[in-house]
Copies of this chain bind each other. A is one copy, B any other.
């Protein structure tokens, strides 16, 4: 990784420079709107006829006016925004050390998630050897997904000490440079680039069809994005600083996964988190450098959290209604918009009569049919009714006759 001392400052201009650097390698993912989700978001929870989690009373009465602009990073290379940071960090490293040196030494990281795939893919693109340290307990599909980009996968124990020990070993043996998943300016600047695109794309969409946005407004008012390690959220804060576009974070609150929210309230970064939230990309506590950005009140407005049931309900709506294939972590900002009554009251108050154009980051789509099935499988029921054959939707089908 490029030395901290030589890194560009965390400014909007640096994000713009980072964007130029990575543009040839990443997708300019689409920004899209969904009338159905706008309607549900702009209806009080207590008045909704559908889209609510089964187990939670629909008591909320806040009724914000809001038009949503979804940034589809689930359609990014490797299926998640992490490609941005990885390409930026590797590009900067090559610029600083020379391609030959980086290709001789290689890069290393420990991750079983999207960062591993992103780094492996960026390394393959630049002909750099990549070493990915993964816990032996990783699921076979994640190991296969990572291996498909051609890195050397090295297994470790699952605690952070065990993983770091293996990374150290790799570095000693190969001289590989560590590319951490979020706690580095080059990663943060790379991840922030998506906000530049979202800002411009929302403006283009509204210019083409003013009905997509709040009446009379030509720009985004705010962006909400997930926060795990904080690389993306601090990047977005950096990119939007000075534009007037407000930035919010969204977190799961299961088993203390809302470490950013709790840390901001306590005025102290939470250093350890132990959670099995379904939003598995957001289980990590916020890193040091992201923390220094998000605690700047001029950069981040606040972090809001949601329950597992709320994440599931948002995930269902995103898939069934908007046809977004996303991973649970990517549904967290939408869940905040739809179900966090504190956020919705704020939205109602701040947006006022006029309302807000709100960018919503869909951070990734790396999940499997099995994982989805595990989340949504209906309780076992008798499948045969009245002796007839029954189809996949539980319907019994009679003979079909051509019209």
Closest to A75 in B: B323
A368 adjacent to B320 (CB under 8 Å): yes
Instruction: Report whether B393 and A371 are in contact in the complex, using a CB–CB cutoff of 8 Å.
Output: yes
Q: Which of A286, A385, A399 has the most CB of B within 10 A?
A: A399
Report the stretch among A81-89, A241-249, A275-283 that lies at the interface: A275-283
The closest CB in chain B to the CB of A285 belongs to: B402
Verify A389–B276 contact, CB threshold 8 A. Answer: yes
Which one, B50, B286, B321, B398, contacts A158 given CB within 8 A? B398
Q: Which B residues lie within 8 Å of A272 (CB)?
A: 399-402
Question: In the bound complex, do residue A284 and residue B368 qualify as a contact, i.e. CB atoms below 8 Å apart?
Answer: no
Residues of B within 8 A of A274 (CB): 397-400
Question: Contact check: which of B79, B181, B325, B397 meets A325 at CB < 8 Å?
Answer: B325
- Residues on B with beta carbons closer than 8 Å to the beta carbon of A401: 160, 271-272, 285
| In the assembled complex, A144 has its CB within 8 A of some CB on chain B | yes
Kindly state whether residue A346 has any CB partner on chain B within 8 Å: no
Give the total of A residues in contact with B, Cβ under 8 Å: 79
Q: Is A4 located at the chain interface by the 8 A CB criterion?
A: no
Q: Would you list which residues of chain A between 126 and 155 have a CB under 8 Å from chain B?
A: 135, 137-139, 141-142, 144, 148
From the candidates B50, B148, B316, B402, name the one contacting A229 in the complex (CB within 8 A).
B402
Which of A168-176, A215-223, A375-383 is the interface stretch?
A375-383
Query: A284 vs B397: C-alpha distance in the bound complex, in angstroms?
Result: 11
A48-65: CB near B (< 8 Å → 1, else 0) gives: 011000000000000000
Establish whether residues A229 and B376, one from each chain, have CB atoms under 8 Å apart when the complex forms. Answer: no
Q: A403 at the A/B interface (Cβ < 8 Å)?
A: yes
A8 at the interface (CB under 8 A from B): no
Given A323-B79, A399-B160, A403-B288, residue A370 in contact with residue B378 (CB < 8 A): yes
Cα-based distance from A286 to B402 in the complex (angstroms):
6
Is A390 part of the binding interface, using a Cβ–Cβ cutoff of 8 Å?
A: yes
Whether A137 contacts B376 in the complex (CB less than 8 A), given A269-B402, A285-B401, A320-B368, comes out as no
Please indicate the chain B residues that have their CB under 8 angstroms from the CB of A370 in the complex: 376-378
Tell me which residues across on chain B come within 8 A of A367, comparing CB atoms.
320
A112 in contact (CB, < 8 A):
yes
A319 interface residue (CB < 8 Å to B): yes
Do A393 and B273 form a contact, CB below 8 Å, given A320-B369, A376-B373?
Answer: no
- Closest B residue to A112 by beta carbon equals B395
Task: Give the contacting residue for A397; candidates B158, B320, B326; CB below 8 A.
Answer: B158
* CB closest chain-B residue, reference A372: B372
Q: Which residue of B lies closest to A184 (CB)?
A: B403
Q: Considering residues A272, A288, A371, which has the most beta carbons from chain B within 10 angstroms of its beta carbon?
A: A371
Distance from A82 Cβ to chain B, minimum over Cβ atoms (Å): 14
Whether a CB of chain B sits under 8 angstroms from the CB of A387 is no
A403 in contact with B182 given A371-B392, A389-B276, A391-B276 (CB within 8 Å): yes
A66 → B minimal CB distance (Å)? 21
Chain B nearest Cβ from A384, distance in angstroms:
12
With beta carbons under 8 angstroms apart, the residue of B278, B285, B395 that contacts A137 is: B395
Is B402 a contact partner of A284 (Cβ separation < 8 A)? Answer: yes
Residue A91 CB within 8 A of the other chain: no
19 residue pairs of the A-B complex, CB under 8 angstroms, read A30-B30, A79-B323, A138-B395, A139-B393, A142-B393, A159-B398, A271-B401, A271-B402, A272-B400, A276-B391, A276-B392, A278-B391, A284-B402, A285-B400, A285-B402, A320-B368, A369-B372, A373-B377, A375-B392
